[in-house]
């Protein structure tokens, strides 16, 4: 379990570009040809964790927990299984907010604007992994946890805008909640299939609630 040691404004948050440069530098404690882990160390926040491939499924949760290369938690194991089971050759785990906290109740009360800004740079980078002419596949998978903090909906709004610019296709797996929240990966069937998800309509409803 990861319990935040402090609010992230008290940390020296590494900018995404610098964190990515470090992550792509040989000599890490994991195989950089297999894993993308940004920043490349266990810290109070995480931008990206995933495997490398030409056709990744980008899964969007709310915030990171304890997973790291070679030591995936049950949620990430489910994400990888569903990605590979649906014809993707890899997965990327991304989050609406980058602060690590196993329990959503431990997330900070206020959004750290700098951390969010750098997280959005990371999201744009992840979408660009597909290259020109290919539309990124983005799996909405945050469940009802998005209701835990008011700022999360606004963070998601920025993500959807970036996704529109990059031509992202949104999906969800499994039944949605009564309020339309996409299903969390942890309790999905092994043979779950991604279905189209109208992220714009969902966000509009979320902001009204």
Q: Which residue has the higher pLDDT, 111 or 191?
A: 111
Question: What b/e readout covers 136-170, taking b as 16+ CB neighbours within 10 angstroms?
Answer: bbbbbbbbebbbbbebbeebbbebbeebeebebeb
Tell me the backbone φ, ψ of residue 168, rounded to 5 degrees. -65, 145
Burial (CB count within 10 angstroms: exposed 0-12, middle 13-18, buried 19+), residue 52: middle
Identify the band that residue 190 occupies on the pLDDT scale cut at 50, 70 and 90: confident
Helix extents (H) in 66-198: 74-85, 113-128, 151-166
pLDDT at 209 over 80: no
The SS3 assignment for 14 reads coil
Q: What is the model's pLDDT at position 68?
A: 94
Which pLDDT does position 144 carry in this prediction?
94
Residue among 143, 47, 147 nearest 100 (CA): 47
pTM for this entry:
0.95
Average pLDDT, the chain: 95
């Amino acid at each position: 379990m990861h319990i935040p040691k402090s609010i992230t404004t008290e940390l020296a948050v590494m900018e995404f570009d610098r964190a990515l440069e470090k992550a792509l530098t040989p000599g890490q404690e994991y195989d950089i040809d297999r894993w993308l882990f940004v920043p490349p160390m266990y810290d109070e926040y995480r931008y990206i964790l995933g495997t490398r491939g030409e056709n990744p499924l980008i899964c969007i949760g709310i915030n990171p927990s304890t997973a790291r290369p070679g030591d995936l938690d049950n949620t990430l194991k489910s994400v990888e299984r569903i990605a590979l089971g649906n014809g993707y050759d890899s997965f990327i785990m991304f989050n609406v907010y980058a602060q690590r906290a196993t329990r959503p109740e431990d997330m900070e009360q206020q959004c750290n604007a700098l951390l969010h800004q750098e997280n959005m740079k990371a999201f744009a980078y992840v979408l660009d992994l597909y290259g020109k002419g290919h539309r990124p596949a983005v799996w909405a998978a945050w469940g009802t946890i998005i209701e835990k903090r008011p700022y999360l909906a606004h963070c998601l709004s920025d993500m959807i805008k970036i996704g529109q610019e990059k031509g992202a296709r949104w999906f969800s797996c499994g039944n949605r909640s009564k309020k339309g929240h996409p299903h969390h990966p942890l309790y999905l069937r092994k043979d779950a299939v991604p279905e189209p998800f109208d992220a714009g309509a969902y966000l509009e409803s979320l902001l009204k609630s």
